[in-house]
């Protein structure tokens, strides 16, 4: 249905950009109109006119702030269609509309052409290509091309998307995060080369407050029973949020390759979606990083410091295990329970590494009653 011109005008004037346009138009006229009076009164008393001129000029600048381009917000919804994440999705969409000049929404249906879900790597490539196309369009129109990502995706998809985005280092990517109480959407990590820098004293202090034994030696724990052909694999287990059995479960899968514990309980780690009980290949060693609190402080400084610490810890562990195992190409399998922005940052940082994330399904892990087991 065609919207009448006066309705379009009214909608524009009510928008952020429309309000900025009104400020610029009105107070530009005031500022320019005051100038002749200032010249006439210069020899008398020009202070009043100068004050009016300054107020009008500042207001014009304020109008420009409302009018300026604020980059692209990309809301990515990769969960299956049957998954209900309505509240978080609405929060992400509202935050993007508030913070940016335009929003690109990528729904689950886009990732299921013909009703068939794309493979993980294909999903990451498609999302990155769509982001590139939107940024190119913005740039051609003389607009700011910075990208802010609002993800509602699973851990492995986040890692693969971060890895794919690393191919375009010319763009600036900021990753947002829905807070634990789901009331606020926060900026958490800016993907960039600064994440590879050594930790500052302030960042080290944040790490010391958040992680268990952050200064422990980065020495992977070997699995003596691992077959020689799998010894080159390193399991990097990271638990940064509350998960009572996650560390023990991941360690069991890394050591044995079995996705079920001796008690019969499924760990939730799935390597074949059609056959969830299908085992995987074991790893030759593992390294564990755990948080000392149930939830991390949701600040940009904390998330960036932890991403840097994890990257440097993994690099040292990989090099140490490569030297001990005699492998020329250590393969890393990540078992992650981390905030999604940190996972995406790890994908960005480990873009050239032989690494992948073990997919975890909480639904499968909850189907069987947990039974206490010895780690």
Give, for all 375 residues of the chain, the pLDDT tens digit: 344 544 554 555 565 555 555 555 555 555 555 555 554 555 555 565 556 556 655 554 554 444 455 578 899 998 765 565 778 888 899 888 888 878 899 988 887 777 777 888 999 999 999 988 888 877 665 555 678 999 999 999 999 999 999 988 767 899 999 887 667 888 889 998 899 999 999 999 999 999 988 887 889 999 999 999 999 999 999 999 888 789 999 999 999 999 999 999 999 999 988 888 999 999 999 999 999 988 889 999 999 999 999 999 999 999 999 999 988 889 999 999 999 999 999 999 999 999 999 999 887 877 754 433 333
Beta strand 72-77 with 147-152 is parallel
Long-range Cβ contact pairs of 274-281 (< 8 A, separation 24 or more): 276/361, 276/364, 280/253, 280/358, 281/230, 281/233, 281/257
pLDDT of residue 363: 79
pLDDT of residue 4: 53
> Are 340 and 155 spatial neighbours (Cβ–Cβ below 8 Å)?
yes
Cα of first residue to Cα of last residue in the chain, in angstroms, is 64
Cβ-Cβ contacts under 8 Å for 190 (sequence gap 6 or more): 172, 173, 174, 175, 300, 304
pLDDT of residue 5: 45
Q: The whole model's pTM is what?
A: 0.80
pLDDT of residue 311: 96
pLDDT of residue 30: 54
| DSSP 3-state of 52 | helix
> Are 70 and 20 spatial neighbours (Cβ–Cβ below 8 Å)?
no
pLDDT of residue 182: 65
Q: Give me the helices (H) in the chain, please.
A: 5-14, 16-40, 47-67, 86-99, 120-140, 155-165, 201-210, 246-256, 300-325, 340-349, 362-365
The rounded distance, in Å, linking the Cα atoms of 125 and 283 is 28
């Amino acid at each position: 249905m065609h919207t009448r011109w006066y309705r379009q005008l009214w909608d524009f004037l009510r928008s952020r950009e429309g309000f900025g346009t009104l400020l610029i138009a009105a107070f530009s006229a005031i500022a320019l109109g005051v100038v002749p009076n200032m010249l006439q009164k210069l020899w008398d008393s020009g202070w009043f006119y100068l004050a009016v001129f300054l107020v009008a000029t500042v207001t014009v600048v304020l109008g420009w702030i409302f009018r300026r381009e604020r980059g692209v917000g990309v809301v990515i919804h990769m969960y299956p269609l049957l998954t209900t994440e309505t509240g978080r999705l609405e929060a992400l969409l509202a935050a993007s509309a508030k913070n940016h000049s335009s929003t690109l929404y990528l729904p689950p249906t886009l990732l299921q052409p013909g009703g068939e879900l794309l493979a993980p790597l294909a999903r990451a490539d498609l999302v990155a290509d769509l982001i590139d196309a939107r940024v190119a369009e913005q740039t051609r129109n003389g607009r700011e091309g910075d990208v802010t990502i609002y993800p509602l995706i699973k851990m492995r998809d986040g890692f693969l998307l971060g890895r794919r985005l690393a191919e375009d280092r010319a763009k600036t990517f900021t990753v947002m995060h829905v807070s634990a109480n789901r009331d606020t959407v926060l900026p958490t990590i800016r993907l960039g080369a600064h994440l590879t820098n050594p930790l500052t004293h302030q960042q080290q202090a944040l790490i010391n407050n958040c992680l268990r034994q952050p200064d422990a030696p980065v020495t992977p724990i070997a699995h003596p029973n691992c077959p020689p052909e799998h010894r080159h694999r390193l399991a990097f287990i990271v638990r940064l949020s509350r998960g009572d059995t996650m560390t023990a479960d991941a360690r069991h899968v890394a050591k044995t390759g079995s996705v079920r514990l001796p008690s019969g309980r499924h760990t939730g780690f799935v390597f074949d979606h059609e056959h969830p009980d299908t085992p995987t290949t074991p790893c030759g060693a593992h390294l564990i990083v755990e948080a000392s609190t149930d939830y991390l402080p949701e600040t940009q400084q904390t998330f960036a410091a932890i991403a840097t610490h994890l990257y440097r810890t993994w690099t040292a562990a990989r090099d140490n295990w490569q030297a001990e195992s005699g492998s020329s190409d250590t393969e890393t399998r990540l078992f992650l329970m981390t905030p999604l922005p940190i996972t995406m940052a790890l994908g960005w940082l480990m873009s050239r590494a032989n690494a992948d994330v073990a997919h975890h399904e909480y639904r499968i892990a909850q189907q069987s009653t947990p039974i206490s087991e010895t780690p």
